[in-house]
Amino acid sequence: MDQGAIECSAIMEKSNGEVSQLSVTQGDPPRVCTAKETEKGFYFLSNIDQNIAVVVRTICCFKSNENENENADKMIKDAISKVLVHYYPLAWRLTISSEVTKFQCGGFVLGLCMNHCMFDGIGAMKFVNSWGEVARRAILKARSSPKIEHLHQELTEIDDKSSTVDLYKDEMLYRSFCLDPEKLEKLKKNAMEDGVLEKCTNFEALSAFVWRALTKALNMQ
């Protein structure tokens, strides 16, 4: 990730016969430690994980931005040290290997080598997404001005117009009602006689009947 330890060049011939030179500068590989102390102990692998201990290699490509990703390598390095605090098993024996390659255009690629016994596909993507969120500082990123994309009905205050408070002042009476199939069928016919419903279940008809009786008793609006 750092500049300048090894420099090499190669001559490339384009399809139109022109010759161009490709220059690559390779930095010393830095050692990245966790941002703070993490848990220590053994991470036991399942039988399946032990049988699929292969190294998976991926490449993530990023376009250039307004500052040509000038500090991309430092940003990625700082971000992974913070993410490894939560993914601490990757900071020990079975580490994750990464390499950043920057181009003159300002774009860069991030190459990753991960052991499959530490990640499956979904787990690896969650790790990379967490890494990106920390690098972009987007986890708790404030908006200016606040952007409200939908109504939050759970925060709406509803005026209590019912008399449920008075309910606890009265003596409660408990009754059991047995409804035979004929009475349930009558309830269903009454529920559908206005033509709004084409069909309903015994449970739906009985629930609506009990709910209507409850709202009337409590004078609910």
Domain boundaries, the chain: 1-30, 31-136, 162-217
pLDDT grade for 168, boundaries at 50, 70 and 90? confident
- Sequential DSSP letters for 66-117: TTTTTTHHHHHHHHHHHHTTTSGGGGSSS--EEEEEE-TTS-EEEEEEEETT
Q: Which CATH code is given to the segment(s) 31-136?
A: 3.30.559.10
Instruction: Identify which has the larger pLDDT, 39 or 126.
Output: 126
Q: What percent of the chain has pLDDT over 70?
A: 81
Q: What is the pLDDT of residues 39-86, one digit of tens each?
A: 888 878 888 888 887 888 999 898 887 776 778 888 888 998 999 888
- What is the reported pLDDT for 140? 63
User: Across the chain, where does the E strand assignment appear?
Assistant: 6-13, 19-26, 55-62, 97-102, 108-115
At 10 the three-state DSSP class reads strand
- What is the reported pLDDT for 4? 39
Structure tokens at 184: 């349930």
What integer is the mean pLDDT of 144-151?
Answer: 73
Q: Determine contact, residues 101/57, Cβ cutoff 8 Å.
A: no
CA dihedral 97, 101, 107, 110 (to 10 degrees): -10
Structure tokens at 122: 């979904």
- What is the reported pLDDT for 209? 92
Q: Determine contact, residues 90/130, Cβ cutoff 8 Å.
A: no
